[in-house]
Amino acid sequence: MKKVLLAATLASSVYAAPAVTFNKDVAPILYKNCVVCHHPNDIAPMSLLTYKEARPWAAAIRQAVVTRTMPPWHADPNVGHYLNDPRLSNDEIATIEAWVKAGSPEGDPKDLPPAPVFKDGWHIKPDVVLTIPETTVAAANQDDYEYIYVPTNFTEDKWVQAAEVVPGDRRVVHHATVSVVAAKDVPKLENPNAHAEEDQFHFRTGKVNHLKMDAPVSDDGCVASNDPRVKDWSGGYLNYVPAIYLPGHLAETRPPGYALKIPAGSYLQFQVHYSNRLGETVKDRTSIGLVFAKEPVEHEVAQYEIWNNWFLIPPGDGNHKVTSCYTLPKDVEAVAYTAHMHFRGKSMQTEAIYPDGRHELLFSVPKYDFRWQETYFLKQHFILPKGTKLITTAYFDNSANNPLNPDPSKAIRWGEPSNEEMMGFWLAFADVDTTKQSAQAARHPER
């Protein structure tokens, strides 16, 4: 850091100290941490690939990195260490500051490293791309969950190392979850009513489900009310999700040796949440790209999706607490975490209570932002033994002070549209080969 500041101070002096330039010092940082989103036709509003494109943004870039609003990252860095943590080091921030202070010079073209190349919207290099048939998203379609089934035609089991969902039309694809389903289940799932919640507590409008306002309430998933009509107060659902598209979510790359299995002959279910506010009908073809494991796979990855679906957030409440509780049915190795709420989500934390009574804070998103829903891949995996209780605590801001709040005057219950709420913590995990490692040996202080 010292060196860089010194260079900046001396840049304009008679001593020809090497100035901090775009080509030599700044471009490598932007290429590594920023251009994944900041290139033409991606999610960011401007490209930062070239000097010409970046120069007008110099002051804004400085501001964004000094305040650490860019690159976006929402997990508390003091709780857990993550493989995909994109945050800049203090030295990198100092370099950008020095560059802007020196008048944002371009520097010698010979110093410029080759720019990363992005192709057809992908941030990975897929071995296979599977795309839904062209789907009409009507102008009137403001909130629909469509379920679309695409055969993989895989004749052997495939192991997915990395995957990414790329929306056909970003303007209307609100989210897309791609799950693996067996071919034999597809006819049943294709029934138009297959995804309707069927009990007395839910209702459906168009193609989305909601919980009724007068359904039983349990904000604390650990102390569920004992209303016998509710089967699952706080549940963990097993799911096999190669990739998901959520706001601000990048490609998912699992560490070497870890992969998700797509059995031969499987279908992929694309659950696409369309929300068309364009006032015109458009067509969408959303795709998933898959990168197959090139090395032997030792660990199959799956996911527990842990929810509280029975909360009630009162109107105007700026700090409403909701918890979920799930006791692991077997030993698992923790691989990644995702926090999922909608516009009123404010923060989320997950704590483990181990069978020996020890408590450990695993994950914390102190300032949840609906626009940035990352999956956080753990640097160091560790064992969560059978019987570990995972307690997730979320806070919601349903007050008028929340600028994203669609309507502070409403009481809010679970619902699929984004202007209602969800409370989910997803744990990506691998099964534990108990013959190879003991739970104790796999624990590691740095993760």
Footprint on this chain of ligand HEC (rule: CB under 6 A):
33-34, 36-38, 43-45, 57, 60-61, 64-65, 70-72, 86, 88, 248, 250
CA distance 323 to 327: 14
In the complex, minimum distance from the CB of residue 61 to ligand HEC, in angstroms, rounded to a whole number? 4
Select 44 or 353, whichever has its Cβ closest to ligand HEC.
44
Largest distance between two CA atoms of the chain: 82
Dihedral of CA 195/344/238/227: which sign?
A: negative
In the complex, minimum distance from the CB of residue 88 to ligand HEC, in angstroms, rounded to a whole number? 6
Q: Are strands 299-308 and 258-262 parallel, antiparallel or unpaired?
A: parallel
Amino acid found at 436: K
In the complex, minimum distance from the CB of residue 91 to ligand HEC, in angstroms, rounded to a whole number? 13
Compute how many other C-beta atoms are within 10 angstroms of the C-beta atom of residue 140. 10
In the complex, minimum distance from the CB of residue 38 to ligand HEC, in angstroms, rounded to a whole number? 6
Label residue 216 exposed, middle or buried (CB < 10 Å: 0-12, 13-18, 19+): middle
Select 69 or 136, whichever has its Cβ closest to ligand HEC.
69
In the complex, minimum distance from the CB of residue 142 to ligand HEC, in angstroms, rounded to a whole number? 22
What does each C-alpha distance from 235 to 93, 106, 222, 423, 424 come to in angstroms?
42, 55, 10, 11, 10
Within 13 Å of residue 151, how many CA atoms lie on the same side as its CB? 7
CA distance 77 to 80: 7
In the complex, minimum distance from the CB of residue 30 to ligand HEC, in angstroms, rounded to a whole number? 6
- CB–CB of 104/21 below 8 Å? no
CA distance 250 to 404: 22
Select 100 or 423, whichever has its Cβ closest to ligand HEC.
100
Select 96 or 432, whichever has its Cβ closest to ligand HEC.
96
In the complex, minimum distance from the CB of residue 18 to ligand HEC, in angstroms, rounded to a whole number? 22
Select 33 or 269, whichever has its Cβ closest to ligand HEC.
33
- 355-362 long-range contacts, Cβ below 8 Å, gap at least 24? 355/385, 355/386, 355/387, 355/388, 361/79, 362/79, 362/80, 362/334, 362/337, 362/390
- CB–CB of 233/221 below 8 Å? yes
Select 69 or 281, whichever has its Cβ closest to ligand HEC.
69
| H/E stretch holding 61 | helix 58-66
Select 57 or 370, whichever has its Cβ closest to ligand HEC.
57
Select 72 or 216, whichever has its Cβ closest to ligand HEC.
72
In the complex, minimum distance from the CB of residue 369 to ligand HEC, in angstroms, rounded to a whole number? 8
